């Protein structure tokens, strides 16, 4: 049996890796990949708390995560579409060159 | 349960591991990737031999020959979805065939692909393919089989489009993927139906599997709305998947185009193993295909098996006819593969698992031999694929010629010494005794005649006469230097050829009527040796008939193409001179591609155009009306705003603007720096929380 804390540590590690990717990378696609990693860390937390929680037979955690994965898939599609559209306009996916939102 | 049964998963896992490691290799690590792929395949081959001997031992000791290992995959609601693998004679024989042929083709590829830049990528895909194919073979669950089946389709796509910079290869890859997907959709529906009927997708599970007696009786008894048994419907849907994968009419169009891939791929995937997966699938779910209610007589064939037989017989003749008029060396072999796959389906339909599978195994050996021979020819002729531009190669490439001739005679079914003769005879004999109709037998015989004819045509064009490679090169203005002379291929390519050629001859010995080892092995009995098998009802007449047919085909081929040496590449074909109209129809593959182009593809694009129109005019119109309405309203609001409210606020706004400008400097427009701030704040929060918890 894996204790809850190991699961949480793993998910924290995954989250940090994803977050570091989002912060450090310049390529929009790789940032999107980082976001996916962070999402999956959250999913892992759901599953872990469900599994070690008070009612593991109720399937709530699994349902939550399935929805979350579904939403994440849609989100990735939207994100990629955005990146493609940005690329068509600006011929780059380097995120630090895209600063038209500057005040 | 023995060690090998418990660890059967290692057989597909090893090539999968090799594929993974090769995927990480750098581009120039050629030796490493090839060694990894060949090593993994070799180990799998040894393990397969262990599995095979295990089944042999079980049979000789009279133990049950089928062993399964099932394990739960995941829980859904209160049901466990189970996967598993099994070892039975069918699995064992396929394992040995796939790993052996695969190993030889891997070795051959090191020679054939030696000059390719993407050598490591090639071996990565090949290993992945081998893993998926072996997974299909050992699967004890239709779901696991389907997953590996799709992986096989994916690798086939990747390998057909291996030279993706060629537009024709990219198009062929797409065509193969989409066409097989049509069949796979039906397969998926059939699988869901099967799950709803049987409640499990495991084939064998101590009496609870979907191919076992209780589930089959329930499915036969359950009638659908149109009065067809559920088992028939499911079997037909699964067969549709096999039709797509095995290139049967009407989904055969992708297989000839798939020859755009490298030749080792054509030999391994599109001749020996993947296309045979459809036949294997039908053999695997044979109990479902053959399930009939007790009321019906056991002798009459079920609807599903009748469909299998008819599709197979039609495909066998249809593809053989097209093959007569093709000029590309690999395309002829591709149509021949389609035709032989039709034979296998027919064999399954009329004679059961053993008849169809025997032809599958012998065909795998001689057809991969033919493809690799063709690859050797193409390699030797400097990427020339048109048989009209070859000729006279028998002296320049003696090893290739000898092995190719063996493969060709085995494919034609040359009597007594070649494996193709015995397996084809088994099919024809079973077709003759079919209770429904004699027509499949006549179609099969016609196909055999055509097979002998077009193979003779090909061999005369490629290996006899004078070399026409030179005349072609003189015609092109760019070639100033002397035309390149064909040369024999390196030993890494000829060695597998020789090994396969000996298999193509020897393999016939295991399925003769006198010693039906193959048949009894599949049904789990000990074989009996008796010459009396030849005297069994109807065998000798069939053997004589097919011998006559083969000699007739060879003679016709000689009459048209062998009597006078073919001198020029530009002369019309001998058959074209005789019957130009029919020849043109055959050369254009009965216009099936054009038919699809004008029906299915056109309907599809018409539908797309209609959707586009709907989107552009109807939905867009609604949206535009609403937006115009909103625009009008907002214009009203703006005028009130400008003339009534605005001026009084201007002063206040100016103040806000100046302060806003100051604050706006914080906003660099770079999302990542905002995120960084959030990260720092978060870290600070965590630190504060930890600190406050301590004190």
pLDDT tens for B85-129 read: 999 899 999 999 999 999 999 999 998 888 888 899 999 999 999
Q: Which segments of chain B have a pLDDT < 50? A: 473-482
Q: φ and ψ at B87, to 5 degrees? A: -125, 110
Name which of A17, A79, A101 to mutate to probe chain B: the one with the most chain B Cβ atoms within 10 A of its Cβ: A101
Its ipTM equals 0.74
Q: How does pLDDT run across B258-269, given as a tens digit for each residue?
A: 988 898 898 888
N-term to C-term CA, chain A: 52
With CA atoms as reference, the chain A residue closest to B680 would be A23
Q: φ and ψ at B80, to 5 degrees? A: -100, 130
C-alpha angle with apex B103: B98 to B105, nearest 5 degrees?
A: 95
Contact A103 B671 (CB under 8 A): no
Give the closest of A23, A59, A102 to B675, CB-based: A23
Report the distance separating Cα B98 and Cα B102, nearest Å: 6
Burial category of B134 from C-beta neighbours within 10 Å (exposed 0-12, middle 13-18, buried 19 and up) = buried
- In 3D space, the residue among B504, B519, B223, B221 whose CA is nearest the CA of residue B365 turns out to be B504
A30 shares contact with chain B (CB less than 8 Å): no
Q: What is the SS3 string spanning B47-69?
A: HHHHHHHHHHHHHHCCCCCCEEE
A19 shares contact with chain B (CB less than 8 Å): yes
Contact B672 A22 (CB under 8 A): yes
B679 shares contact with chain A (CB less than 8 Å): yes
Report the distance separating Cα B688 and Cα B673, nearest Å: 23
Q: Which domains are delineated in chain A?
A: 3-97 (1.10.287.3510)
A102 shares contact with chain B (CB less than 8 Å): yes
Mean pLDDT, all residues of chain B:
86
DSSP letter assigned to residue B531 = G
A100 shares contact with chain B (CB less than 8 Å): yes
Give kind and range of the element (H or E) at residue B81: strand B79-87
List CB contacts of A35: < 8 A, sequence separation 6 or more. Answer: A18, A22, A79
Residue B301's pLDDT is 73
With CA atoms as reference, the chain A residue closest to B669 would be A102
B671 shares contact with chain A (CB less than 8 Å): yes
Residue B484's pLDDT is 60
The encoded tokens of residue B522 equal 């599949």
Helix axes B303-324, B230-245, angle to 10 degrees: 20
Q: How does pLDDT run across B523-538, given as a tens digit for each residue?
A: 777 666 666 666 666 7
Q: What is the distance in angstroms between the Cα of A57 and the nearest Cα belonging to chain B?
A: 9
Q: How does pLDDT run across B181-227, given as a tens digit for each residue?
A: 999 999 999 999 998 888 888 998 888 888 888 888 888 888 777 77
Residue B644's pLDDT is 78
Q: What is the distance in angstroms between the Cα of B682 and the nearest Cα belonging to chain A?
A: 12
With CA atoms as reference, the chain B residue closest to A103 would be B664
Residue B353's pLDDT is 87
Residue B530's pLDDT is 67
Report the distance separating Cα B230 and Cα B355, nearest Å: 26
Residue B478's pLDDT is 43
Q: What is the distance in angstroms between the Cα of A24 and the nearest Cα belonging to chain B?
A: 8
Residue B419's pLDDT is 86
Contact B664 A59 (CB under 8 A): no
Contact B668 A102 (CB under 8 A): yes
Contact B671 A59 (CB under 8 A): no
Residue B475's pLDDT is 44
A95 shares contact with chain B (CB less than 8 Å): yes
Q: Are B265 and B105 in contact (CB under 8 A)?
A: no
A22 shares contact with chain B (CB less than 8 Å): yes
The encoded tokens of residue B441 equal 């037998």
Q: Is the pTM of this model over 0.80?
A: no
| Pairing of β B79-87 and β B67-76 | antiparallel
Give the closest of B77, B664, B676 to A103, CB-based: B664
Q: What is the distance in angstroms between the Cα of B195 and the nearest Cα belonging to chain A?
A: 22
Q: Are B315 and B239 in contact (CB under 8 A)?
A: no
A66 shares contact with chain B (CB less than 8 Å): no
Residue B483's pLDDT is 52
Q: Looking at beta carbons, which residues of chain A come within 8 Å of B666?
A: 103
């Amino acid at each position: 049996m894996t204790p809850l804390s190991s699961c949480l540590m793993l998910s924290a590690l995954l989250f940090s890796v994803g977050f570091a990717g989002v912060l450090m990378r310049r390529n929009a696609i790789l940032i999107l990949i980082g976001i996916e990693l962070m999402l999956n860390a959250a999913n892992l937390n759901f599953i872990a708390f469900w599994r070690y929680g008070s009612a593991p037979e109720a399937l709530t955690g699994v349902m939550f995560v399935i929805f979350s994965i579904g939403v994440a898939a849609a989100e990735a599609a939207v994100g990629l579409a955005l990146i493609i559209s940005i690329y068509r306009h600006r011929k780059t996916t380097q995120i630090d060159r895209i600063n038209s939102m500057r005040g | 349960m023995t060690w090998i049964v418990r660890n059967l998963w290692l057989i597909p896992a090893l090539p999968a591991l090799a594929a993974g490691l090769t995927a990480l290799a750098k581009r120039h690590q050629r030796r490493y990737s090839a060694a990894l792929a060949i090593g993994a395949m070799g180990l799998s081959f040894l393990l397969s031999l262990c599995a095979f001997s295990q089944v042999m031992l079980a049979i000789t000791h009279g133990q049950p020959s089928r062993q399964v290992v099932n394990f739960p995959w995941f829980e859904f609601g209160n049901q466990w979805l189970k996967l598993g693998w099994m070892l039975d004679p069918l699995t064992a024989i396929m394992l040995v065939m796939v790993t052996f042929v695969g190993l030889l083709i891997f070795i051959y590829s090191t020679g054939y692909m030696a000059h390719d830049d993407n050598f490591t990528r090639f071996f990565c895909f090949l290993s992945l393919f081998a893993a998926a194919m072996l997974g299909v073979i050992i699967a004890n669950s239709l779901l696991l089989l389907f997953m590996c089946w799709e992986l096989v389709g994916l690798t086939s796509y990747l390998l057909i489009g291996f030279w993706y910079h060629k537009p024709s290869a990219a198009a062929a890859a797409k065509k193969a993927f989409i066409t097989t997907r049509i069949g796979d959709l039906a397969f998926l529906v059939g699988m869901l139906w099967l799950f709803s009927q049987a409640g499990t997708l495991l084939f064998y599970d101590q009496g609870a599997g979907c191919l076992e007696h209780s589930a089959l009786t329930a499915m036969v008894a359950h009638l659908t709305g149109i009065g067809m048994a559920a088992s028939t419907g499911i079997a037909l849907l699964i067969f549709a998947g096999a039709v797509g994968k095995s290139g049967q009419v009407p989904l055969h169009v992708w297989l000839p185009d798939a020859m755009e891939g490298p030749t080792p791929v054509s030999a391994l995937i599109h001749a020996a193993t993947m296309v045979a997966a459809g036949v294997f699938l039908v053999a695997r779910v044979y109990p479902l295909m053959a399930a009939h209610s007790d009321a019906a007589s056991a002798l009459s064939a079920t609807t599903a098996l009748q469909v299998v037989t008819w599709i197979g017989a039609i495909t066998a003749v249809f593809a053989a006819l097209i093959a007569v008029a093709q000029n590309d060396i690999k395309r002829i072999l591709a149509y021949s593969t389609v035709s032989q796959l039709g034979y296998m389906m027919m064999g399954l339909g009329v004679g059961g698992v053993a008849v169809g599978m025997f032809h599958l195994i012998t065909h795998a050996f001689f057809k991969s031999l033919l493809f690799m021979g063709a690859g050797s020819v193409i390699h030797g002729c400097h990427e020339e694929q048109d048989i009209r531009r070859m000729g006279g190669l028998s002296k320049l490439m003696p090893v290739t010629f000898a092995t190719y001739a063996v493969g060709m005679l085995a494919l034609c079914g040359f009597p007594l010494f070649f494996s193709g003769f015995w397996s084809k005879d088994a099919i024809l004999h079973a077709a003759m005794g079919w209770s429904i109709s004699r027509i499949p037998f006549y179609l099969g015989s016609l196909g055999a005649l055509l097979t002998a004819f077009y193979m003779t045509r090909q061999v005369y064009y490629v290996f006899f006469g004078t070399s026409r490679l030179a005349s072609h090169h003189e015609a092109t203005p760019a070639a100033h230097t002397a035309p390149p002379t064909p040369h024999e291929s390196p030993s890494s390519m000829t060695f597998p050829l020789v090994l396969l050629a000996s298999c193509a001859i020897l393999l016939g010995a295991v399925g003769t009527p006198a010693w039906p080892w193959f048949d009894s092995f599949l049904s789990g009995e000990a074989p009996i040796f008796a010459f009396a098998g030849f005297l069994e009802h109807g065998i000798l007449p069939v053997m004589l008939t097919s011998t006559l047919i083969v000699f007739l085909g060879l003679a016709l081929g000689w009459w048209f193409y062998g009597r006078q040496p073919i001198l020029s590449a530009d002369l019309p074909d001998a058959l074209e001179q005789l019957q130009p109209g029919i020849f043109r129809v055959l050369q254009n593959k009965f216009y099936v591609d054009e038919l699809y182009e004008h029906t299915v593809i056109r309907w599809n694009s018409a539908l797309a155009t209609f959707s586009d129109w709907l989107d552009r005019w109807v939905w867009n119109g609604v949206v535009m009306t609403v937006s115009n309405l909103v625009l009008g309203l907002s214009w009203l609001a703006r005028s009130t705003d400008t003339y009534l409210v605005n001026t009084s606020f201007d002063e206040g706004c100016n103040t806000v603007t100046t302060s806003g400008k100051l604050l706006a400097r914080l906003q660099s427009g770079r999302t990542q720096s905002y995120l960084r701030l959030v990260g720092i704040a978060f870290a600070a929060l965590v630190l504060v929380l930890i600190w406050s918890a301590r004190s």
